[in-house]
């Protein structure tokens, strides 16, 4: 996937060279992207080597959450891009599907994998899909209830500020919280849809269809061609969705504020997005720990322009350390949105509870108590309320 991004960037730089900036009839899009790549490279070199003759404009009046909130309420802030990761879903009881340390990899012995990561490798999956689906059944969340953080992003949308939300999560909670397909780039794919893996078929299936098969312990097979059907999450060995590459160029060139939520920025090429914003665009990190800071090695590898929260040269990056939900509430309070956010969360959660207890009632014929299974990973989930994740 890195290769693909690199070759794309190189092609655009070439296009810029050959089209020539003096030719007004040249392909605008290629020219503009080429321009942005040149800006990117210029910024990268000047910042990495300390050559910056042009001082970037300081946009925030102070490098604090208060400074960010004042900027957000100004005329200058019209387009916000959010980058989010697993940290915004942990409060919803969603296990971090792939990262080590969750106990996930430790429980894989029973599947006789050649090595733990094989379970998420596309070549292994095509031969042996069983372990992946067994794991999916084990980890399937009992309930899909977005967090305060998800609804904060929804508020950004309602206020007309959200340009796009780039998510690494595959749990569909952004959609459940009311973001549309158009608002989202699901960089690592999603469980929301699935496709037949046969390249000549590629028939699409919905979440309900997939869920039914996962819980009946059946390997999902295409109704048309009998090939295996795979959720649209990105496996190791697969490219990121083309939407990621096609939207990234324009989105990150046009952004007034970048908000990074609940991600340690460890996975490329997602992590390198932070260095794609213009040099004067403020970047707010809300996370348990500081991350994304410049590292000389990463700069040499071309992932420069890291975050700078504390050095004497710091001029635009703000870190708010702690729980993502609390960080969003704190920012909402400064913006005067706190009551609105709390009301939104209350109403949406009540609607989800009502829907799931109705579903449980429909099945069991009684007992409409709201389910709490979401908080308990890997517990009996076969009776989990269906349909709660629908839009």
Smallest gap from residue 359 Cβ to Zn ion (A): 30
Taking the CB of residue 350, how many other CB atoms lie within 10 A of it?
11
Nearest to Zn ion of 224, 382 (CB atom): 224
Q: Which of 377, 325, 320 has the alpha carbon at shortest distance from 97?
A: 377
Q: Which residues of 244-264 are buried (b: 16+ CB within 10 A; e: fewer)?
A: bbebbbebbbbbbbbbbbbbb
Nearest to Zn ion of 202, 343 (CB atom): 202
Q: Which residues contact 275 (CB under 8 A, 6 or more apart)?
A: 40, 44, 303, 304, 305, 306
Q: Which of 82, 48, 27, 33 has the alpha carbon at shortest distance from 305?
A: 48
Which residues of the shown chain bind Zn ion in the complex (CB under 5 A)? 196, 198, 201, 203, 222, 224-225, 227
Nearest to Zn ion of 132, 151 (CB atom): 132
Nearest to Zn ion of 198, 357 (CB atom): 198
Contact 19, 27 (CB under 8 A): yes
Smallest gap from residue 228 Cβ to Zn ion (A): 9
Nearest to Zn ion of 179, 196 (CB atom): 196
State the DSSP code for 198.
-
Tell me which of 128, 150, 188, 195 is the catalytic residue. Answer: 188
188 catalytic per annotation: yes
Which SS3 state, helix, strand or coil, does residue 304 take? coil
Q: Which residues contact 36 (CB under 8 A, 6 or more apart)?
A: 249, 253
Contact 203, 224 (CB under 8 A): yes
Q: Which of 135, 110, 107, 106 has the alpha carbon at shortest distance from 120?
A: 135
Smallest gap from residue 280 Cβ to Zn ion (A): 49
For the annotated binding site for Zn(2+), the residues are 196, 201, 222, 225
Smallest gap from residue 193 Cβ to Zn ion (A): 14
Smallest gap from residue 227 Cβ to Zn ion (A): 5
What residues are annotated to the active site?
A: 188
């Amino acid at each position: 996937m890195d290769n693909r991004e690199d070759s794309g960037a190189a092609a655009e730089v070439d296009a810029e060279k050959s089209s020539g900036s003096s030719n007004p009839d040249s392909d605008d899009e290629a020219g503009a992207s080429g321009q942005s790549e040149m800006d990117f490279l210029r910024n990268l070199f000047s910042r990495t080597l300390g050559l910056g003759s042009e001082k970037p404009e300081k946009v925030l009046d102070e490098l604090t959450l208060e400074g960010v909130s004042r900027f957000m309420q100004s005329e200058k802030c019209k387009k916000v891009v959010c980058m989010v990761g697993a940290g915004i879903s942990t409060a919803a009881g969603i296990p971090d599907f792939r990262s080590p340390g969750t106990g996930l990899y430790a429980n894989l012995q029973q599947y006789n994998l050649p090595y733990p990561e094989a379970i998420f490798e596309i070549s292994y999956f095509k031969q042996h899909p069983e372990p992946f689906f067994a794991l999916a059944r084990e980890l399937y969340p009992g309930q899909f209830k977005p967090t305060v953080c998800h609804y904060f992003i929804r508020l950004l949308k309602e206020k007309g500020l959200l340009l796009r939300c780039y998510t690494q999560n595959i749990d569909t909670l952004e959609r459940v919280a009311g973001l549309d397909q158009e608002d989202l780039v699901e960089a690592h794919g999603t469980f929301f849809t699935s496709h037949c893996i046969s390249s000549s078929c590629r028939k699409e299936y919905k979440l309900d269809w997939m869920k039914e098969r996962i819980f009946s312990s059946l390997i999902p097979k295409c109704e048309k061609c009998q090939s295996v059907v795979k959720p649209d999450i990105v496996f190791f060995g697969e490219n990121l969705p083309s939407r990621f590459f096609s939207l990234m160029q324009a989105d990150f060139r046009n952004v007034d504020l970048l908000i990074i939520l609940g991600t340690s920025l460890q996975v490329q090429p997602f992590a390198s997005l932070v260095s794609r914003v213009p040099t004067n665009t403020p970047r707010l990190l809300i996370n348990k720990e500081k991350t994304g800071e410049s590292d000389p090695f990463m700069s040499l590898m071309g992932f420069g322009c890291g975050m700078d929260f504390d050095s004497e040269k710091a001029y635009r990056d703000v870190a708010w350390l702690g729980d993502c939900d609390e960080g969003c509430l704190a920012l909402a309070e400064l913006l005067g949105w706190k009551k609105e956010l709390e009301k939104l969360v209350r109403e949406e959660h009540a609607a989800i509870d009502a829907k799931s207890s109705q579903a449980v009632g429909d099945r069991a014929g009684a007992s409409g108590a709201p389910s709490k299974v979401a908080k308990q990973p890997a517990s009996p989930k076969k009776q989990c309320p269906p349909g709660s994740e629908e839009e």
